[in-house]
Structure 1
């Protein structure tokens, strides 16, 4: 009995292989990077049928913004949307916005891609969905806005040197029409109401436009519903289930 107990103890107490110093350093660096980037040491790993895409800070387009600016680069978002559209495991896309706006053409490109997805897409405005963030916010199948979130609607503006010739103003007018047409065709706001909000004076300092908050965005028809993450995910799952039922009836599901 004594010998067998000793033998079992010896087996159980076998020394574990030591981690090489280089591997320890890599693990430590990975933890530090995770803390710096995400504010946590462990990122929960789980399989999900929903792809979450965030649009945070300023939408960066053709001009690289200063490093101190919090930006979302459109060339990073477009491959995500293409991958989500092609990946059969992804059944729905959740777009979370907290943006001040940014490059008009980049914002419209993102909005057009979201609106052309074959899979269900739900947008959620948290904090703010200002300027060119408005078309992105209305580009999904259903849009949500937090009760405390805001959206600023104003005419297109240019930074830097502006050539004061008729062609410049015609270009601006055409750009403006693109935004108006997209927003009114992907939401319940009327053309007249949207232009009224856009050109309203006296509400914004040094500019024309309107800031709408949560329920007001819904009242004007810009956003479908007020709600947060839970409501947005519930609606997205409902859209996914409806798509599966429809596909079951036709025998085709991509």
Structure 2
């Protein structure tokens, strides 16, 4: 316990606060981002614009420029990154999970998968994927679900719901829960069996990562919480590492945009929107 004499006056409290300036937490943003001790291999640390370790049961948010690469790392095999992306210029344009699955004919997300908005544009694209265990069916956990399974869903408690944390992240940008679409999650897989039943297949193990590119200026919201179909009775989730660095978006001539007719249309729509705004 801290000695009360250390804070028994304004000057003492100021000195005490300044003495802790160099303290670090296991879960924190690294400021500046170039100081991250976990910069991805092959990425010049001096180019990082976002670096953070998100706590189990934590959340984060960021506005990223068009073309920015951002990467999720699962160091323990227990992270579950629930992701929502919105057009940072016009946040009413947002991730549409149904269109993300049905228009490009992709039930399961992986390298090359675009994340589509309801306006037919690619908001982001999965560039690399060493996990292959993701979920675009279930969305994240809700308060009611976590209260029933774990006994609590309080955002500050031991088992926060993904929905409550995404609401908190959205509020930092003037948005409300009505602005939030269903999310997709990464690192905890789900598959559909021949009878149409959703089956959790868990993690591919520690040390996996997923890298994305922002195809438009993005508002990125992330909640790192236990997957709602996790069969374990306890609330289990590990830390999530996030890094971002500058890059270029997908162009109309890129092989990703020419992979299928449906993807071509989505990327053409995206490029048209961006060029009209001088991006």
Q: Greater share of strand residues, 1 or 2?
A: 2
Q: Greater share of helix residues, 1 or 2?
A: 1
**Which protein shows a greater Rg?**
1
Higher relative contact order (CA 8 A, sep 6+): 2
